[in-house]
Chain A
């Protein structure tokens, strides 16, 4: 199980490297914000442990910590994606015009 997970870990790392090759400066901030939202996946960790799916005994204090952890993870996910969307929405107004003009140029 550990070996399989390590293999997944290494491969995921290479995927991460490969995805980000050339990014225009303009998109650095939204991209950072988007990847930031994705590591909110820790939310799953909170659910798995609090949901007791791995069979550990939890004290009240542990449960309290986990509720906070789930809340943190949710803030990370929801806030992250929303903020990224708002940033990108700023580009929208002029984006279609630019996209079509580029397309037109390619066709000609």
Chain B
């Protein structure tokens, strides 16, 4: 590598770090992202300046393909589908590491004559990259609802099968390590690691998916750093390791916000042994209400707290919700929004949507801030949120979500729940809130329900 390349790499590192620092603050985030992107541009440019680079046509072809596929995907994806898009982008990054490791194996005849650290780092990259690719695809499938969101588990043998997949992966890798150069071994490593990725993510319930994506993100970062070690490329080492480290911290922050531990999420699937996952709902009754009743109830309230969830995102109801809140405010009702850290399918999901609808920032209250206020709230309007309002998290030690901090919606004087049907939430468990005497259900698509409430409010 020439001095120019190294110098440009150093500039790129500085921009990555500066950009990431910007991304942690609300006012500097947009600029931070841009700065990091510029850093990436410089790193790519510098790499192309490495003396002796050939196969230009193929390199351009790869970059062109990636751009043609990536740009429209990123530009056209709906805000509600953002989380799965991040999972997908993360997955292809891991896939790239795995493929590079595969080629490394082929082009060196099974790492013959290479220093052992090159082999170890390449094999690490192959395994982690493959796990990340397939795990991310499962996360994508679950969030996109191609796969069911509830945990898909083998039950008791799950842990054993996972362990076997891990052993098989390591066995293939060690066989390569002890000098074998059979192509089948590197393919075996990649395939068993793929199985491991699928097996680990499939039993995890949708509610934990944000943490899983963040964890896989950190893993891809580490695999990129390993690939950098193998290829003696400092840019990859630095950028990959920064992502690996910052991604781990971020995963921890997210898990904390949900009161879940990372080992519990990865090892057990949601709720471990499936205790009390589906309890009888047959004899429980719920009360249905109409848009007219809901409008009257809210217009005579002193304080209404809106609790948005994934249902609001899917229905794209944020704009009508804002309009409804304005009407209520004109009638002298105080309107606030209670934002659970993991409402929707990602932290910050609701903030993004409500900000898009021009909801004043001051009205968005975080969980700790709003939980003390529910007991003097007249109406809590739950729009397509489910698990984050489930009192079982507080009361029922047998519940899979027990211990997760929730919005204490049940403490308010009355609750109106906007929901499409009595189906369970993403965690696949029933919500006793709906059967409480103070709760009324308003069935239908969130957008049309709120629109109906607006019509009724106008006539009052």
Shortest Cβ distance from residue A20 to the other chain B in the assembled complex, whole angstroms: 4
Q: How many A-B residue pairs have CB under 8 A?
A: 391
* B36 and A32 form a contact (CB under 8 A): no
Q: Is the interface of B mostly helix, strand, loop or mixed?
A: helix
B333 at the interface (CB under 8 A from A): no
* B237 and A9 form a contact (CB under 8 A): yes
* B58 and A66 form a contact (CB under 8 A): yes
* B361 and A8 form a contact (CB under 8 A): no
Shortest Cβ distance from residue B41 to the other chain A in the assembled complex, whole angstroms: 9
* A47 and B103 form a contact (CB under 8 A): no
Of A12, A33, A90, most B-chain CB atoms within 10 Å: A12
User: In the complex, which residues of chain B have a beta carbon less than 8 angstroms from the beta carbon of A72?
Assistant: 66, 92-93, 95-96, 99
A48 to B355 alpha-carbon distance, docked (Å): 42
Q: How large is the interface on A (under 10, 10 to 19, 20 to 34, 35 or more residues)?
A: 35 or more
* B250 and A80 form a contact (CB under 8 A): no
Q: Chain A, 1-16, contact with B by CB distance < 8 Å: what is the 0/1 string? A: 1100110110011111
Contact with B37, one of A24, A27, A63, A81 (Cβ below 8 angstroms): A81
B172 at the interface (CB under 8 A from A): no
B-side residues, CB < 8 A to A, are 16-17, 19-21, 23-27, 29-30, 32-34, 36-37, 40, 43-44, 47-48, 50-56, 58-59, 61-63, 65-67, 69-71, 73-75, 77, 79, 82-83, 85-86, 88-90, 92-93, 95-97, 99-100, 102-104, 106-108, 115, 117, 210, 213-214, 217, 220-221, 223-225, 227-229, 231-247, 249-250, 253-254, 257, 339, 341, 346-349, 351-353, 355-356, 358, 360-361, 366
A-side residues, CB < 8 A to B, are 1-2, 5-6, 8-9, 12-17, 19-59, 61-63, 65-95, 98-99
Additional 5 contacts, C-beta under 8 A, given A28-B346, A29-B86, A34-B33: A36-B220, A66-B103, A72-B96, A73-B66, A78-B66
